[in-house]
């Protein structure tokens, strides 16, 4: 390979890498799906982020210090697992609660629904994060975290985006399979609490993340396209649950997960 060709290849690779980095949206820049871009003002609903010296801020500090006791425990392992937000990861995380092995491959209509609504809920929580610009807990008090700080650079605390995502999954799956709502919503609550255990979000940010997802999905719920996609997802999951050939999650794994979900963290 000539030097000129090598330089051209190197330049092309650098360009591809830069394009990939630039293509990653900033939190709050996610595209609207069911909601118009200016159709819902989450900041009018969320309580303001706590201040360091107010009662909520002091409670957050105490909870962060208290929950460092989970380092190295099974609950810490669960929190580390819950860092991953990929479709396959999230589907697996809710499989025990749903009672079937849910995958992007066997439930494409369900993934389309959750991806679409999830873009709306992520956009709202991201806008709120960038409005409040609240520091994450490990930047205030020293303590271990289950996720590298380098992965969170430039991302703020309030509300928790992971919690918003997990609660979006939980609320939609509970709509799809209402007879499993108790276990699904409990797993969604624990998914958010994993961010407290992990040490990367304050407890108030997790509460705000659940509220963020709830109110945004309420605004989405009357959209005709959403209702159409919800019906398709419900039919898809109903068929999977009725089919004896659909894989089921390992009962022993589900029993261990249920015990961790039920464990109070503070």
Q: What is the mean pLDDT of residues 230-241?
A: 99
What is the greatest pairwise CA distance in the chain? 67
The helix, strand and coil proportions of the chain, stated in percent and rounded to the nearest 5, come to 65, 0, 35
Q: What does residue 191 show for φ and ψ, rounded to 5 degrees? A: -60, -45
- Comparing 222 with 260, the larger pLDDT belongs to 260
Whether 200 shows a pLDDT value over 60: the answer reads yes
pLDDT band at 30 (very low <50, low <70, confident <90, very high): confident
Whether 12 shows a pLDDT value over 60: the answer reads no
**Chain segment 37-80, per-residue pLDDT in tens:** 777 899 999 999 999 999 999 999 999 999 999 999 999 999 99
> Hey, what CATH class is 50-262 in?
mainly alpha
How far apart are the two ends of the chain, measured CA to CA in Å? Answer: 62
Closest CA to 167 of 145, 184, 151, 155: 184
pLDDT band at 25 (very low <50, low <70, confident <90, very high): low
Cα 52 to Cα 54: distance, rounded to the nearest angstrom: 6
Whether 10 shows a pLDDT value over 90: the answer reads no
Long-range CB contacts (within 8 A, 24+) of 67-74: 67/196, 67/197, 67/199, 67/265, 67/266, 68/143, 68/144, 68/199, 70/197, 70/265, 71/144, 74/256, 74/260
The secondary structure of residue 48, as a DSSP letter, is: P
CB 129 within 8 A of CB 27: yes
Q: What is the mean pLDDT of residues 150-156?
A: 95
- Comparing 240 with 21, the larger pLDDT belongs to 240
Whether 4 shows a pLDDT value over 90: the answer reads no
């Amino acid at each position: 390979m000539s030097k000129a060709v090598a330089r051209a290849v190197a330049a092309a690779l650098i360009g591809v890498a830069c394009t990939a980095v630039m293509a990653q949206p900033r939190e709050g820049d996610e595209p609207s799906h069911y909601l118009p871009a200016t159709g819902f003002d989450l900041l009018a609903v969320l309580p303001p982020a706590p201040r360091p010296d107010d009662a909520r801020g002091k409670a957050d500090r105490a909870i962060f210090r208290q929950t460092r006791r989970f380092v190295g425990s099974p609950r810490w392992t669960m929190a580390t697992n819950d860092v991953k937000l990929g479709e396959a990861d999230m589907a697996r995380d809710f499989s025990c609660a749903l009672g079937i092995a849910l995958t992007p491959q066997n439930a494409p209509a369900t993934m389309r629904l959750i991806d679409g609504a999830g873009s709306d809920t992520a956009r709202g929580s991201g806008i709120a994060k960038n409005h409040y610009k609240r520091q994450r807990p490990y930047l205030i008090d020293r303590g271990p975290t289950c996720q590298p700080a380098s992965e969170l650079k430039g991302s703020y605390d309030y509300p928790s985006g992971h919690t918003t995502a997990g609660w979006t999954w939980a609320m939609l799956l509970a709509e799809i399979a209402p007879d499993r709502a108790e276990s699904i919503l409990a797993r969604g609550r624990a998914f958010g609490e994993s961010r407290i255990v992990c040490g990367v979000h304050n407890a108030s940010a997790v509460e705000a993340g659940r509220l963020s997802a709830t109110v945004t999905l309420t605004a989405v719920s009357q959209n005709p396209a959403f209702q159409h996609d919800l019906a398709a997802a419900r039919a898809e999951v109903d068929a999977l649950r009725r089919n004896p050939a659909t894989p089921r999650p390992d009962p022993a794994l589900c029993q261990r997960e249920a015990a961790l979900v039920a464990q109070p963290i503070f």
